[in-house]
């Protein structure tokens, strides 16, 4: 790493993993990412997981808990990154990323009511996307 605050400057492995996720049009598991990057020199799961940890920390990637998979953030740099919600189509696997202020307020409100210090929220809606439910 050359810089202190230039978190945009990714290391080699981070850039590779970010590239794989950006190229994909849906979520990828860590092992799928690994498979796609074997030709680029990645050999072990840990190399992928370490890169993913950092990318999530940077706000460039989201982890989808209900899929054990990862997606590139659709609007990186956005605030409210920690309150992002997802709609995941069980039919086609597409993922829609949502940043909703009212939802975020309700979640923080619920936490406050319970004197709960909220660090991170996971909101994942499963069902059928518009395209698949029309078909």
Partner DNA sequence: GAGATTGTGTAATGGTATAACGTGTGCGAT
Partner DNA sequence: ATCGCACACGTTATACCATTACACAATCTC
DSSP single-letter state for residue 95:
E
Piece of 12-20, 37-45, 49-57, 116-124 that binds its own copies (CB under 8 A): 116-124
Interacting residue with its own copies among 15, 24, 56, 107 (CB under 8 A): 107
If one asks whether residue 6 binds DNA (CB under 7 A), the answer comes out as no
Tell me the three state secondary structure of residue 72. Answer: strand
Binders in 19-38 for DNA, by CB under 7 A: 29-32
If one asks whether residue 110 binds its own copies (CB under 8 A), the answer comes out as yes
Q: Which does 87 bind (CB under 5 to 8 A by kind): DNA, its own copies, none?
A: its own copies
If one asks whether residue 51 binds DNA (CB under 7 A), the answer comes out as yes
Q: Which residues of 102-121 are buried (b: 16+ CB within 10 A; e: fewer)?
A: ebbeebeeeeeeeeeeeeee
Q: Are strands 69-72 and 61-64 parallel, antiparallel or unpaired?
A: antiparallel
Positive or negative, the Cα torsion across 79, 75, 58, 29?
Answer: positive
Q: Residue 131: exposed, middle, or buried by beta-carbon count in 10 A (0-12, 13-18, 19+)?
A: exposed
User: Rounded distance, CA 131 to CA 110, Å?
Assistant: 33
Interacting residue with DNA among 19, 24, 26, 50 (CB under 7 A): 50
Binders in 47-76 for its own copies, by CB under 8 A: 65-66
Q: Which does 24 bind (CB under 5 to 8 A by kind): DNA, its own copies, none?
A: none
Residues that bind DNA (CB under 7 A): 1-4, 11-14, 29-32, 41-47, 49-51, 54, 68-69
């Amino acid at each position: 790493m050359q810089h202190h605050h230039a978190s945009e400057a990714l290391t080699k492995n981070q850039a590779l993993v970010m590239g794989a996720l950006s190229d994909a049009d849906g979520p990828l598991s860590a092992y799928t990412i690994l498979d796609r990057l074997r030709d680029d020199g990645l050999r072990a799961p840990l190399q992928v997981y370490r890169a993913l940890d950092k990318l999530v920390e940077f706000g460039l990637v989201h982890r989808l808990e209900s899929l054990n998979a990862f997606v590139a953030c659709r609007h990186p740099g956005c605030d409210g990154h920690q309150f992002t919600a997802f709609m995941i189509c069980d039919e086609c696997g597409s993922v829609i990323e949502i940043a909703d202020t009212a939802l975020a307020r309700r979640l923080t409100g619920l936490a406050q009511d319970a004197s709960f210090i909220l660090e991170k929220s996971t909101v994942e809606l499963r069902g059928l996307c518009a395209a698949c439910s029309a078909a």
